[in-house]
Structure 1
């Protein structure tokens, strides 16, 4: 009876997580599609090169949200361990394929936060060393930064494969938990696990290496972002007397975008993952479906696109022009219809 009750309670949390993920995914479709349409057809600027990097970043975020919607990854924390698994089988895929998609999901997460670092580096050079921008970001050098982000994505996914695969200790520790709260046997689902301590409370360094690998990647990206951001803020303040009003306004807008681009993922990407990773080391004696906390991932791409469209003047003007064009088209169509109706009416009365 207890098993049935707890399974029902946790199924409600899973339903909530799935609803949040679905809403986030559809929000991402709308926001990112709008951003891409504006970028390709309406926004004409003198920072076209940087615009390509914003487009790539939006596409990475969209890929993260799409994989999350397809796989619906579930996280569960239990005392000295946590698991990531999926009950979904997209397109009737096998458990092995579902596990591969889980790995893609973790890789896209790391790639997305890494490409954000490339954006900060671009704006850092544009403000502090503008003469070096063509050297690091001109032409096809965008492929270097795409490779940079995917390197860390691969490192993150490999860390999960190597250090978080299910062994006998993790299986024994989690099997009753999964059966009682999710009604599933471990061998029937796509799953990886981290269990920080064994029965004798000895640290399992093999699993802890997974946490350290994730921490290393996050600290590298976050450290670079904070460093570039601090230097940009200092330089902008010092250059107020030397730059034109329009350039100060442009750099200030970009800086606001970048600050929000790190503030939002700090809340939706970095902090939840950091909390989830380190709870096993402190053995807080708790169990909860932590996936609900992480389902905010799916909103990040939408929020990022909205940030850019709301702050940058070029995008705000493009949105205004787009809606004015739609309004004029609608009014034009209505005018033509009214004229046609008037003509037909006059002919009938005649």
Structure 2
């Protein structure tokens, strides 16, 4: 069994788990959950669909990466007989989902922030506002994808730099696979403007949305106790659960998407400066990335109490616990 076959098996397992967990989340949100507001229900469903599409694209394109000294090749290892151009598009869109996911988490943080502080702006997320926040994350995702096709299209220099490494490591001709290549430095050691622009675009799209997440997250954390006094006791509990779920949802992409991708993208820039020899099959990290969608969906259902109650009742056939009457408990104690 080849390296790519093993990676593909892990990818398919990740897709099945992602599809199942996110399908359950979508089903419960649409047909059973009552306490969650309509707008936030749409956000939950939207995010679950993103997770399924992200995992599905990985199965279709079978993206893989390899770092060699001052270069990075991002290519498709698919054997499905899909046209070259479609595979190229699929792995670039898959890469664009990085930015799309972070952007949508930022949208959720903004919405929860505005809802907590009771501003009228939060109401603009309803109605036609749904179209705006639904389409917005696609913009940074599309820019991220487009950056691949502008700054990382292979040429004679980049193919020549990677050709022998790819042939000796994977035993195929580099010209035969759909690929994007980033070689930050030219033959004289000067920084190539295309690579600088690509890295700058990637960092801006990801970091700008993380700043929004951090700002809104800290604002809610330090002011939550005061602001929750405006809500009823059940709503206070629900608001706290939503905040915890959002924090976990932001940790999921950070752990499974951003952190694994960071060394892959930055090594081509840093390795030549440190005079490092690099021969890393970094595509293995994509198997870890496949854990992100189920991690987020399962964590959300575990944190929000209503989901746990429905799962126990519908799937585990457990009746919800009936709270004891305090007066009855007190009477029993006196009788004893």
TM over 0.5: yes
CA displacement, residues 127-167 of structure 1 (integer Å, 9 cap, x when unaligned): 123432112x0113121112211101110011110001102
Question: Residue in 2 aligned with 1:340?
Answer: none
Contact 2:17 2:294 in 1 (8 A): yes
Decide whether the 8 Å contact of 1:72 with 1:88 is kept in 2.
Answer: yes
| Rounded Cα–Cα distance in structure 1 between residues aligned with 2:89 and 2:315 | 42
The residue correspondences of 1:122-271 to structure 2 (distance < 5 A) are 122-135=111-124, 137-239=125-227, 241-271=229-259
Shift in Å, 1:108: 2.6
* 1:1-350 superposed matches below 5 A: 11-12=2-3, 14-90=4-80, 92-135=81-124, 137-239=125-227, 241-283=229-271, 284-323=276-315
Looking at structure 1, the residues matched to 34 and 21 of structure 2 have their Cα atoms a distance apart, in angstroms, of: 19
Flag the structure with larger Rg: 1
Distance 2:85 2:228 in 1: 57
Q: Distance in 1 between matches of 2:315 and 2:259?
A: 37
State the alpha-carbon separation in 1 of the partners of residues 131 and 291 from structure 2.
26
How many aligned residue pairs are there? 315
Distance, in Å, in 1 between the alignment partners of 2:223 and 2:286 is: 36
Q: CA deviation at 1:121?
A: 0.9
Q: Give the Cα separation in 2 of the matches to 1:240 and 1:50.
A: 18
Counterpart Cα distance in 2 of 1:68 and 1:133: 35
**Unpaired segments ≥5 residues, structure 1:** 1-7, 328-350
- TM-score, normalised relative to structure 2: 0.89
* CA contact 2:117–2:227 (8 Å) conserved in 1: no
Give the match for residue 326 of structure 2: none
Show structure 2 runs of 5+ residues with no match: 320-336
